Amino acid sequence: MTTIFSDISELYTPFERIEDPALVVEDGQITWLGAQRDLPPEFSGFTPVSLGKRGVLPGFVDSHTHLVWAGSRLDEYLQRARGESYEAILEAGGGIYNTVHATQRAGEDALFELAGMRAATFQEGGVSTLEVKSGYGLELEDELKMLRVIQRLDAALPQRFVATLLAHVIPKGWERTAYLEMFCAELIPEVKRAGLAEAVDVFCDRGAFTLAETEQIFTAALDHGLAIKAHAEQIEHTGATQLVARMGGLSADHLEQSRADDWQALAAAGAVATLLPGATVILRKPFPDARTMQAAGVKIAVATDHNPGSSPLYSMVLAMQLATALGGLSVEDALIAGTAHAADALGRPTLGRLAVGSPADFVVVQQERALAPFYSWGNHQIDSLYVAGKKHRQPDL
């Protein structure tokens, strides 16, 4: 099945801007992209689908979310807004543990419904691919339950979902070494056997896992053929970024406390630095100097870190806008960070770009200028999202 999209005012691949382009899509994949006037004659017999002289961007790739959760942390949010710290709440057994209790109690269907509704908001905001982590189950069965929910989201919803097993915190009532043994010797092998995740993430920080424990989990993950990544240098500097670089990880995420030597290690290894402006701003942490990081040769991605605690953020556009406003990235680089580099952070380098051989996942902007969403704060200016060449939202204007 061949579809030609025409009447596009401009398109960002995202590395290049093309004026008046046309897109040829066959079976969901881009097979030709170029200026409309150069469209090969073999396609002249087709009636093109007009995009109404609007701008087009690659579908956004949210490469770090915790979309599956139950309960609410509104009270904690109010407490933090009054000055209490995220770390103190976690140390007192609240925070992440609060969501763990609610998620453990919730049934698989209820979690699927909740995550599906959140995914619909991401869809309206132009997100075609979402990475989703487990990590609020902690116990073996509850972690598998979360991962099955992600698998169901991928099968049932228009967007693409990429699942990651997250070692988040040690559950209450477990001895550390016993939990690590369970995680590495039972959970990881079972996740691999059942095909429930592609990668393993570790929250390496105060109140979570140590650097040595992170290395132990990474080793088990790599032994089972799973990719690795980390929540790194968020609250304290732990060295997790350099561990990710040394062990061939996909990305180090957060990086609020990261330093120049961490950036050099990422650049040398070709690993992605994933910035999470939602968590940085909401927890009032220092914003990483993305521009200097980029100048050091680091490939930067931006994601929402959507979660019920540190980042109840539903907007990739806002995450990218904050990376520009607070991190100093140009708008064009923020777009690359939220599309192509984010896809690289997932080990899916054909996603997040509009190019021959890539799936036709794209955002149609309400304006002629494709970068209008970045200019318009609090009003994303997105007309519709196409995944694999299929439209998934009618403009309801």
User: Applying CB under 6 A, which residues contact ligand NIG?
Assistant: 66, 95-96, 99, 203, 231, 234, 279, 305, 307-311
Backbone angles phi, psi at 325, to 5 degrees: -65, -40
Q: Which is nearer to ligand NIG, 30 or 169 (CB)?
A: 169
Q: Which is nearer to ligand NIG, 307 or 339 (CB)?
A: 307
Sign of the C-alpha dihedral, residues 319, 23, 384, 158?
A: negative
- Pick one of Fe ion, ligand NIG, none as the site partner of residue 310 (Cβ within 5 to 8 A by kind): ligand NIG
Distances (CA, A) of 196 to 70, 182, 199: 20, 17, 9
> DSSP strand E in the chain: where?
2-12, 17-19, 21-26, 29-35, 49-58, 60-62, 127-133, 160-167, 199-203, 227-232, 251-254, 272-275, 299-302, 362-365, 382-387, 390-391
The minimum distance between CB 122 and ligand NIG, in angstroms, equals 17
- Pick one of ligand NIG, Fe ion, none as the site partner of residue 134 (Cβ within 5 to 8 A by kind): none
The minimum distance between CB 231 and ligand NIG, in angstroms, equals 5
Q: Which two tokens stand for residue 348?
A: 């899916």
Q: Which is nearer to ligand NIG, 57 or 127 (CB)?
A: 127
The minimum distance between CB 276 and Fe ion, in angstroms, equals 7
How far apart, in whole angstroms, are the C-alpha atoms of residue 324 and residue 312? 20
- Pick one of Fe ion, ligand NIG, none as the site partner of residue 99 (Cβ within 5 to 8 A by kind): ligand NIG
Say if residues 139 and 183 touch (Cβ distance below 8 Å): no
233 binds Fe ion (CB under 5 A): no
The minimum distance between CB 236 and ligand NIG, in angstroms, equals 11
CA dihedral 318, 324, 329, 335 (to 10 degrees): 30
The minimum distance between CB 67 and Fe ion, in angstroms, equals 11
- Pick one of Fe ion, ligand NIG, none as the site partner of residue 96 (Cβ within 5 to 8 A by kind): ligand NIG
- Pick one of ligand NIG, Fe ion, none as the site partner of residue 241 (Cβ within 5 to 8 A by kind): none
305 binds Fe ion (CB under 5 A): yes
Q: Which is nearer to Fe ion, 201 or 333 (CB)?
A: 201
Q: How far apart are the first and last CA of the chain?
A: 30
Prior bond of 14 cis (ω within 30°)? yes
- For Fe ion, which stretch binds (CB under 5 A), given 29-37, 304-312, 318-326, 351-359? 304-312
Q: Which is nearer to ligand NIG, 11 or 318 (CB)?
A: 318
Q: Which is nearer to Fe ion, 305 or 361 (CB)?
A: 305
Q: Which two tokens stand for residue 200?
A: 């393993």
- Pick one of ligand NIG, Fe ion, none as the site partner of residue 229 (Cβ within 5 to 8 A by kind): none
Sign of the C-alpha dihedral, residues 206, 209, 213, 214?
A: negative
The minimum distance between CB 253 and Fe ion, in angstroms, equals 7
Sign of the C-alpha dihedral, residues 186, 215, 267, 316?
A: positive
- Pick one of ligand NIG, Fe ion, none as the site partner of residue 234 (Cβ within 5 to 8 A by kind): ligand NIG
Backbone angles phi, psi at 40, to 5 degrees: -60, 145
Say if residues 64 and 279 touch (Cβ distance below 8 Å): no
Question: Which positions touch Fe ion (CB under 5 A)?
Answer: 305
